Amino acid sequence: MTSQTDPSAGSDITVPDELQNNVVITNIAKVLDPVYNWGRRNSVWPMVFGLACCAIEMICTAASRYDLARFGMEVFRATPRQSDLMIISGTVTKKMVPTIVRLYNQMPEPRYVMSMGACASGGGPFKEGYNVVDGIDKFLPVDVYVPGCPPTPQALINGLIALQEKIGQQSIATVPWYSKQGDEFTGAVPIPVLGPDLVDLRQIDIIREEAAKAETNDTAVEETAESAMPEAA
Amino acid sequence: MSEMTLDAPEDEGAVTVNDNPVESAIARLKERFPDAVSDDPRDGYEGVIVDADKLIEVSEALRDDLGFEYLSSVTGVDLIDDGKLEVVYHVYNIEEGGSAVVMKAQTDRDNASLPSLVSVWPGADFQEREVWDMYGVHFEGHPDLRRILLWDGFKGHPLRKDWQEPFFEEEHKPFGSRWPGGSVARIEDSNPFGKNVQYPEGWLPTGDEYDVEIDMYPHEPAHREDESTRMVTDKVTVNMGPQHPSTHGVFRMVVELDGETVVSLKPVMGYLHRNHEKIGERNTFIQNIPYTDRLDYLSSMGNNLGYVLTIEKLLGSEVTERAEWIRILMAELTRIANHLWALGFLINDLGALQTPMLYFYLERELILDFFEAASGARLLCNYMRFGGVAYDLPDKVRETDTMTFLHDLIYENIPNVLDQGENLFVGNEIVRTRSIGVGVLTREDAIAYSAAGPVLRASGVQYDVRRAEPYSYYDKLDFDIPVRYNGDVYDRLLIRMDEMRQSLRILEQVLPHLKETEGMPVIGGKPQYAIRMPKAGEAYGRVENPKGELGYYVTAKRRDANPQRYHVRAPSFINLTALGKMCEGHKVADVVVILGSIDIVLGEVDR
Ligand code: SF4
């Protein structure tokens, strides 16, 4: 590049004839996004994180026949600190979800979540179960949903390509994790706790309301009983 | 049995000699405990009801004097109409094979309590914890009675019939809003939280919720040994899992270490508890078939087979000849696919990361292709039906004629990969040093801990349901039950190799029958969707799944379309009972290998 890299400079600069083939003058934002995205898109490192039956198909996808390495994704990391992508591959249970949220919080941004299979997307066949979370999107922001029970390796690869396209369209200028205020999905998600049932700490207000309702119901019943008594008397 | 019996019936003459070992054992028990043991009076039920006070004595007599030394399954049943809870025990005779002595003990629903049988059969440990978790039966004398699948602090015991989950719609399927016709009201709209949760009335979080983990770790500060003779070190508690690459899913172990040596190991499970049994009791009989796929998701065909056999017992339905052969074909291919996977992972756990695994998976993919062509799904096949199988074999697999494909698979591809595996791993020095003498489970322990499948057979017990209580056409086939005697990781690796060879032998015999029966029906009668039980009763069906004995315990009322009780005896779950024992005294790195050698699948452990 020439020494003048000021993006506002535009085409005012005269490039000497002998350098015509070696110099491109452009706007930095136009260059940076594609280069940056190209790099990230083609080396997405998923986390080794199997939950249930879908994980078996995930492993098959990584194995030689379907060969995820073709997409630069073969580097499965066992630690969240080194991974970009969390594939939620299976049923999310209430007992497990605090761990999943904690793992998500430990991943460095930019990070992506893929919901693989019916269970992770909405509870699937086990939706009504008392220990089942009906979809990981109740807790984490999901980027790509892959349908299926289990999705075939082809479907998973399709989902990963969709994720690559999504990454390819992002711009450093607008993605939430580089902006000052972020959005609702940046930063840590409060880790749910296990009480008599799973407690989502973001729902404390609704829980309070419901608890108060139960109390007013009780007092209301008592009051009506009391007010009814003198009338009857 | 004769040499194990203390009071042989011939000497006494009081009991009629009976050829059926189960009946004669029951007669003997009744004679010895006339007040405590009585026949189950209900129609369609088998076995005996034992008085709670005498339960331990009766069990000891059964184990020591009558040779029924293998406790296979323990489960609870809610008899809500009688206000009672029942615990059902299935006990087998390992030497002689045959069916089970079924013992039942009953207790009141309120303050339910029974004596624990852990002192008689250590294998009852986790199963009793499960019954406590699900039904709230308190087992007196249990060493560590905590919840096992749910967490401490969870409200209620969910398998009780009057316990309803947050997304409860109706007692039984099919739900009125969906069938026939109807418009679906989304269940989450009626829940104020928009999530699958419910709290006790008036409940507010207090902060105590954070303490649910406390029981997992040893309370006392590390105990110190004799300070004069050895260096004083504190013990360290290390938590492995639930997100750990070696645990084959979401399994967790709390390991207490002295240096690098394991002092004690506690498995923690339930991270994949998907309420299989509660959902199964709402489902109609046929709706449960796809759910069984998701138990041991590496061998879905085997799970299907166990379930349909059990329901066929209740229904009394006939299976066509071709269907039986196809079932055996599928079950044995499943065994090979599962063992290929298990060995790949075991080698992976030994430190040979990934590459050896890929060798095994290529051939497994061929089997999956065949499953996909036959059933429409690679992994979770949902293929068997009551009275047969869903579809006949396909004409073509991967553009090849099916019979040619199978022939190549059985005579070429799989034997080749087995030879290759044998060359690469069996004599391999690293594999040998890391696995010989590691994680030893003695014969006595294996039986006491109710281990099943390859784990049991690697410890010198030649027990296989296919021979002990043959189902389908296994009694017509010629094959051996491989057995090895050291009970260590290496033997468990080898026995899987042996089993695959035997499966190939079976498959070679099945192929001609498939040719012969071509064109014959694959399902008996006409396919039924809404099945109603012709009579009330219970059934326990079991098959030799790749992981071990897979049993289904189902009870039903007459004319019902849904099971009353639906329980799965999961081999992976029960095999884990012995994990702590196997790991004691080994290094922490061996824990990973020992776990790999048991070959668990979390879908089945947690259900
Ligand atoms: S979506 Fe299906 S295959 Fe995937 S975890 Fe759920 S039940 Fe298993």
Per CB-CB distance under 8 Å, the chain A contacts of B239 are none
CATH-assigned architecture of domain B276-606 = Orthogonal Bundle (1.10)
Residue of A81, A99, A128, A140 to mutate for B, most B C-beta atoms under 10 A: A128
- pLDDT-based confidence at residue B18 (cuts at 50, 70, 90): low
Ligand 1 binding pocket includes B90 (Cβ within 6 Å) = no
CA distances to A119, A123, B3, B269 from B274, in Å: 10, 10, 45, 12
A56 CA → ligand 1 middle, Å = 10
Does the distance separating the beta carbons of A149 and B274 come in below 8 Å? Answer: no
pLDDT score of B334: 92
Average pLDDT, chain B: 84
pLDDT score of B14: 44
> Which carries the bigger pLDDT value, residue B208 or residue A228?
B208
Ligand 1 binding pocket includes A52 (Cβ within 6 Å) = yes
DSSP B282-308: HS-TTTHHHHHHTTSTT-HHHHHHHHH
pLDDT score of A184: 66
CATH-assigned architecture of domain B4-140 = 2-Layer Sandwich (3.30)
Q: What is the ipTM of this complex?
A: 0.85
Residue type, B381: C
Residue of B147, B152, B197 to mutate for A, most A C-beta atoms under 10 A: B197
Place of tokens 């299907």: B304
Does the distance separating the beta carbons of B603 and A52 come in below 8 Å? Answer: yes
Nearest to B552 by CA among B567, B574, B565, B570: B567
Alpha-helical (H) ranges within chain A are: 28-41, 53-62, 97-106, 117-122, 153-168, 204-232
Ligand 1 binding pocket includes A90 (Cβ within 6 Å) = yes
Chain B contact present for A50, CB below 8 A? yes
- Tell me the pLDDT tens digit for each residue of A10-65: 557 788 888 888 877 777 777 888 888 888 888 888 888 888 888 888 888 888 88
B residues 338-357 near A, CB within 8 Å? 357
Alpha-helical (H) ranges within B442-557 are: 443-448, 454-458, 465-468, 489-516
- Map out the domains of chain A as residue ranges: 41-189, 192-222
Chain B contact present for A168, CB below 8 A? no
Residue B384 near residue B288 (C-beta atoms within 8 A): no
| Cross-strand bridge partners of residue B265 | B255
- Asked whether residue B1 carries a pLDDT value surpassing 70, the answer given is no
Ligand 1 atom nearest the C-alpha of A54 is 4
Does the distance separating the beta carbons of A60 and B365 come in below 8 Å? Answer: yes
Distance from CA of A47 to the nearest CA of B (A): 10
DSSP B239-262: EE-SS-GGGSSS-EEEEEEETTEE
> Which carries the bigger pLDDT value, residue B554 or residue B227?
B554
pLDDT score of B532: 81
Place of tokens 């941004």: A109
- Asked whether residue B36 carries a pLDDT value surpassing 70, the answer given is yes
The answer to which of B208-212, B285-289, B378-382, B484-488 has the lowest mean pLDDT is B208-212
* CATH code, residues A41-189: 3.40.50.12280
B297 CA → ligand 1 middle, Å = 9
Does the distance separating the beta carbons of B278 and A195 come in below 8 Å? Answer: no
CA–chain centroid gap for B177, Å, is 35
- Tell me the pLDDT tens digit for each residue of B152-168: 888 889 988 888 888 88
Per CB-CB distance under 8 Å, the chain A contacts of B195 are 133-134, 138, 198, 200, 203
The mean pLDDT value for A212-222 works out to 66
A150 CA → ligand 1 middle, Å = 5
DSSP H or E segment with residue A113 = strand A112-116
% pLDDT > 70, chain B: 92
- Tell me the pLDDT tens digit for each residue of B116-155: 888 889 888 899 999 999 998 999 888 888 888 888 888 8
Ranked by mean pLDDT, the top range of A131-135, B18-22, B209-213 is: A131-135
pLDDT score of B305: 92
A164 CA → ligand 1 middle, Å = 24
The mean pLDDT value for B79-105 works out to 87
- Asked whether residue B351 carries a pLDDT value surpassing 90, the answer given is no
The answer to which of B72-76, B220-224, B295-299 has the lowest mean pLDDT is B220-224
Sign of the Cα torsion A77, A81, A82, A87 reads positive
B601 CA → ligand 1 middle, Å = 14
- Map out the domains of chain B as residue ranges: 4-140, 276-606
> Which carries the bigger pLDDT value, residue B583 or residue A184?
B583
Ligand 1 binding pocket includes A125 (Cβ within 6 Å) = yes
Backbone phi, then psi, for B258, in 5-degree steps? -115, 105
Of B192, B196, B361, the CB nearest to A132: B196
Does the distance separating the beta carbons of A78 and B196 come in below 8 Å? Answer: no
Ligand 1 binding pocket includes A118 (Cβ within 6 Å) = yes
Does the distance separating the beta carbons of B197 and A198 come in below 8 Å? Answer: yes
Does the distance separating the beta carbons of A91 and B274 come in below 8 Å? Answer: yes
Per CB-CB distance under 8 Å, the chain A contacts of B205 are 193, 195, 199, 204, 207
Distance from CA of B370 to the nearest CA of A (A): 15
- Asked whether residue B222 carries a pLDDT value surpassing 60, the answer given is no
> Which carries the bigger pLDDT value, residue B43 or residue B340?
B340
The answer to which of A165-174, B225-234, B274-283 has the lowest mean pLDDT is B225-234
Alpha-helical (H) ranges within B83-182 are: 124-135
Residue B86 near residue B138 (C-beta atoms within 8 A): no
Backbone phi, then psi, for B540, in 5-degree steps? -125, 115
Chain A contact present for B384, CB below 8 A? no
CA distance B184 to B188: 12
- pLDDT-based confidence at residue B24 (cuts at 50, 70, 90): confident
- Tell me the pLDDT tens digit for each residue of B225-248: 555 556 666 778 888 878 877 777
**For the whole model, what pTM was predicted?**
0.86
The answer to which of B37-41, B329-333, B453-457 has the lowest mean pLDDT is B37-41
B606 CA → ligand 1 middle, Å = 14
B309 CA → ligand 1 middle, Å = 24
Does the distance separating the beta carbons of B202 and A218 come in below 8 Å? Answer: yes
- Asked whether residue B274 carries a pLDDT value surpassing 80, the answer given is yes
Does the distance separating the beta carbons of B249 and A52 come in below 8 Å? Answer: yes
Does the distance separating the beta carbons of B245 and A207 come in below 8 Å? Answer: no
Residue B167 near residue A128 (C-beta atoms within 8 A): yes
Does the distance separating the beta carbons of B199 and A196 come in below 8 Å? Answer: yes
Eight-state DSSP code of residue B342: H
Eight-state DSSP code of residue A178: G
Question: Which residue owns the Cα nearest ligand 1 atom 2?
Answer: A149
Backbone phi, then psi, for B429, in 5-degree steps? -65, -40
Residues 6+ apart with CB under 8 A from B1: B21, B66, B67, B93, B95, B96
Eight-state DSSP code of residue A194: E
B289 CA → ligand 1 middle, Å = 14
- Asked whether residue A222 carries a pLDDT value surpassing 60, the answer given is no
Coil vs helix vs strand at B140: strand
Ligand 1 atom nearest the C-alpha of A90 is 5
Chain B contact present for A127, CB below 8 A? yes
- Tell me the pLDDT tens digit for each residue of A99-157: 899 889 888 888 899 999 999 998 888 988 899 998 898 888 899 999 988 899 999 99
Distance from CA of A165 to the nearest CA of B (A): 28
pLDDT score of B336: 92
Residue of A74, A103, A130, A137 to mutate for B, most B C-beta atoms under 10 A: A130
- Asked whether residue B175 carries a pLDDT value surpassing 70, the answer given is yes
CA distances to B17, B20, B66, B236, B241 from B12, in Å: 10, 18, 15, 58, 57
Number of H helices, E strands in chain A: 6, 5
Nearest to B410 by CA among B332, B516, B491, B477: B332
Residue of B nearest to A213 (CA): B202
Is the previous residue joined to A108 through a cis bond, with omega within 30 degrees of 0? Answer: no
Distance from CA of A86 to the nearest CA of B (A): 12
A120 CA → ligand 1 middle, Å = 8
Probe residue for ligand 1, chosen from B294, B295, B378 as the CB with the greatest number of ligand atoms within 8 Å: B294
Chain A contact present for B398, CB below 8 A? no
Average pLDDT, chain A: 80
The mean pLDDT value for B328-350 works out to 89
- Asked whether residue B387 carries a pLDDT value surpassing 60, the answer given is yes
pLDDT score of B328: 92
- Asked whether residue A87 carries a pLDDT value surpassing 70, the answer given is yes
